[in-house]
């Protein structure tokens, strides 16, 4: 179930405590799948940023740090 559909159902105010728990579980599952996409992209971005920073320090003649 998508996050948008979850919000639509909750906004209709037809939810019982059991359905609220089910909606929360589906929201967590959606965010978990999204995390699987974002974390590797963020890791690649950080590695690229570190590479550019190292090249910039090397070109400026200030080789500083463990990178």
pLDDT reported for residue 34 = 86
More reliable by pLDDT, 7 or 36 = 36
Does some domain include residue 37? yes
pLDDT exceeds 60 at position 67: no
In a domain, 38, yes or no: yes
DSSP assignments along 54-65, one per residue: HHHHHHHT---S
Residue 12's domain spans which residues? Answer: 3-60
Whether the CB-CB separation of 9 and 15 falls below 8 Å is answered with yes
pTM of the model: 0.40
Is residue 7 in a domain? yes
Neighbours of 3 (CB within 10 A): 13
Residue 65 lies in a domain: no
How deeply is 31 buried, as exposed, middle or buried, from its count of CB atoms within 10 A (0-12, 13-18, 19+)? exposed
Query: Is 50 or 11 the better-scoring residue by pLDDT?
Result: 50
pLDDT tens per residue, range 14-34:
656 677 788 888 888 888 888
Give the pLDDT score at 11.
Answer: 62
35 within a domain of the structure (yes/no)? yes
């Amino acid at each position: 179930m998508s996050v948008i559909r979850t919000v639509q159902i909750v906004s209709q105010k037809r939810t019982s405590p059991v359905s609220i728990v089910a909606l929360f579980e589906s929201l967590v599952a959606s965010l978990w799948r999204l995390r699987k996409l974002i974390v590797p992209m963020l890791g690649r971005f950080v590695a690229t940023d570190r590479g550019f920073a190292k090249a910039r320090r090397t070109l400026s003649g200030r080789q500083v740090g463990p990178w």
